[in-house]
Amino acid sequence: MRLWARTVKHNKQLAESVIENYDWQKTRTEKVLEALQDACTELDLPVPMWLDGNIKDFQRSGKTRFRTDSFIESVDFDYLEFSVLEDDY
């Protein structure tokens, strides 16, 4: 599984990270949560909360946007987009 995270401000990409997780013993949910944690660590960001809208978007389309209300700490971008590039399921 490969996932892409990118921060965007004023329609311009600020930073990005591609995370690969091919641990076959983990569930898809575990891989997604771990990839989000790894991407946030790599980009030096706080980990956002999964709100109901984020969960529904991700289940439906394989991507979601974490806006500033998903973060406990303040962030200097409009949203963090998180999406599946390659799914092994």
* Element housing 60 (H / E): helix 52-61
Alpha carbon distance 11, 79 (integer Å): 10
Look at residue 21 and tell me whether its pLDDT is greater than 90.
Answer: no
Tens digit of pLDDT for each residue in 47-73?
999 999 999 999 999 999 999 999 999
- Tally Cβ neighbours within 10 Å of residue 26: 14
**Residue ranges of the domains in the chain?**
2-86
pTM confidence score:
0.89
